[in-house]
Amino acid sequence: MEKETGRIEAFSDGVFSIGVTLLVLELHIPELKNGENPTQLLQELQLQWPGYIAFIISFFSIFIIWVNHHKIFKQIYKRNTGLMFANGLILFLVSLVSYPSALLARFFLSDSRQLSVTIYTGLFVLINLAFNLLWEQASRDKRLLRPGISNKAIRQLRNNYLYGFPTYLAAFILSFFYPDFALVICVLLWIFWAVSSRKINFTEVSDLI
């Protein structure tokens, strides 16, 4: 059976790669008011550290979302309207990432730190929900899936995205009280993902997003 999702993947890859590359536009060249000497410049660059952190977290979050998108679409061979729109929702949320990321960079050192982290983690809760929706749409009709996919693999994929939900929700709720800790959870999720996926066969999907 021929795979018919080529252009969906091409369009999605476009959105992911642009989303990831536009993040750099949120790093600003410092305006030096007291002379252009290197001490001044270095100081200003150091003061922008929340921007670098936001850039790194956002880049690798989108990258991991792309890896998961890649995995999920390896199992999908046909598409219907529900699938198209679930995928559109993921792309919509991914194309948004650079905005909360810029808010985080701008307000992390201000009184609005908590609010900016809450908005940021809230977006990742929505992205997790959209992935759940995508897999729900795809696995509902087995004719859309790779022929010969096992029920176990379908269940595993569903569980991964389902288990991701409470973790992201926990980060979101924590952000109201301990914003820094909420961000740490986001980073720990990558490490967990990277380590756990090393052990398993890549074609047997079982990672958190």
The residues that touch a copy of itself, with contacts defined as CB under 8 A, are 7-25, 27, 29, 35-38, 40-42, 55-56, 59-60, 63, 66-67, 70, 79-82, 84-85, 88, 91-92, 95-96, 98-99, 102-103, 106-107, 110-112, 114-116, 194, 197-198, 202
Amino acid (one-letter) located at 199: K
At 25, is the secondary structure helix, strand, or coil?
helix
Give min distance, CB of 128 to a copy of itself, in A.
Answer: 20
Distance CA 131, CA 127 (A): 6
Q: Angle at Cα 90 formed by Cα 11 and Cα 74, nearest 5°?
A: 60
> Minimum distance from CB of 60 to a copy of itself (Å)?
7
| Residues pairing with 184 in the sheet | none
Q: Compare residues 166 and 197 and give the one whose CB is closer to a copy of itself.
A: 197
CB of 160 to a copy of itself, least distance (A): 15
CB of 132 to a copy of itself, least distance (A): 19
For a copy of itself, the closer of residues 34 and 150 by Cβ is 34
Distance CA 149, CA 145 (A): 7
Q: What is the largest CA-CA distance in the chain?
A: 67
CB nearer to a copy of itself: give 97 or 153.
97
User: Minimum CB separation from a copy of itself for residue 171, in Å?
Assistant: 19
Cβ nearer to a copy of itself, comparing 9 with 136: 9
* Sequence-separated (6 or more) residues with CB below 8 Å from residue 161: 128, 131, 132, 135, 209
Nearer CB in complex with a copy of itself: 65/125: 65
Q: CA 80 to CA 201: how far, in whole Å?
A: 29
